Amino acid sequence: MPSDAATFKITACSADHIGDRQDQQDRVAVLTSRYWPGSLLALVADGMGGRTGGRLASDQVIATARNLFDDRPEAGMDGRGLLGAIVSEAHTVIRLTAVAAEKEPHSTLVALLVQGRRADWVHVGDSRLLHFLDGALLHRTIDHSYGSTLNASGALIEGGPERRRFRSVLFSALGARSELRIDYGEADGLRAGDSFVLASDGLWTYVKEPEMASLLQDLPAREAAQRMVDLARARARGKGDNLSLVVIKMEPA
């Protein structure tokens, strides 16, 4: 870490599970790069588009991110610029793949770049980022789904069948023909006690935010990730989707 951030270290763990599906269409990665020293890039991509189309899309997202992060950045590119380039290029590549393969591959994306005491993130779709500090939730991304839009307007009843039906209907996803909705976020002044969870809907559907906060507070990153997977699998009762997550914790150096 840079000298001004030497008061904490970063621990990270990624995990995925096929759930009760026949194919795994989630992809997850935690990356470092010589061109971004002292930085960490974490990503979760949830593919959609049939048996092979979804995995094709999420693979393209991770490959694009890896290539851009491993390459020398353009002059003046900052963290938000890198994340925007990943979104733009992955979206274009998936659209071209759809034409060539005669499929309709789409993918969500949530990505987090940590640089010293600063974090930048981007999301498209309904894979979520959650930022906690000392066991309290500071921020959660808002899903690009019709369920979230209707719920914000008060049109949906908490726990009702309409909310469950519309929750997974997305209005923005990488590779989609509709206009792309991209949301960014940032946090400065990171310190020991900050933590992040990136998760696909197969995970956050079953593990609630207070439970995540408690697990992050009490357990190391690897054990917290394993416990979240175990909770999601037990509560899915044989009907669970693919799930994936990244846990990142800032801990005393």
Nearest to 106 by CA among 47, 177, 64, 65: 47
Q: Is the dihedral of CA 61, 197, 21, 206 positive or negative?
A: negative
pLDDT at 25: 95
Residue boundaries of the structural domains of the chain: 3-141+173-252
> If 0-12 CB within 10 Å is exposed, 13-18 middle and 19+ buried, where does residue 86 land?
buried
User: Which residue shows structure tokens 């899903």?
Assistant: 143
Nearest to 250 by CA among 115, 70, 81, 129: 115
pLDDT at 99: 67
User: Which residue shows structure tokens 């002044």?
Assistant: 189
The CA distance from 120 to 78, in Å, is 10
DSSP state of 115: E
**3-state SS, residue 95:** helix
Domain boundaries 3-141+173-252, corresponding CATH code:
3.60.40.10
C-alpha separations of 166 from 26, 63, 127, 155 in Å:
21, 30, 15, 11
- Is the separation of the CB atoms in 225 and 13 below 8 Å? yes
pLDDT at 153: 43
User: Which residue shows structure tokens 């801990």?
Assistant: 251
**3-state SS, residue 77:** coil
The CA distance from 160 to 162, in Å, is 6
Backbone angle region of 13, left / alpha / beta, with phi > 0 → left and psi within -120 to 50 → alpha? beta
Each residue's pLDDT, cut to its tens digit, for the chain (253 residues) gives 455 556 899 999 999 999 999 999 999 999 999 999 999 999 999 999 766 789 999 999 999 999 999 999 999 999 999 999 999 999 999 998 876 665 689 999 999 999 999 999 999 999 999 999 999 999 999 999 887 766 554 444 455 555 556 566 899 999 998 889 999 999 999 999 999 999 999 999 999 999 999 999 999 999 999 999 999 999 999 999 999 999 999 999 8
User: How far from the centroid of its chain's Cα atoms is residue 26's Cα?
Assistant: 10
As given in the structure block, the two tokens for residue 93 are 């590549």
Q: Containing H/E element for 165?
A: helix 161-167
Beta bridge partners of 140: 130
- Is the separation of the CB atoms in 125 and 107 below 8 Å? yes
pLDDT at 164: 56
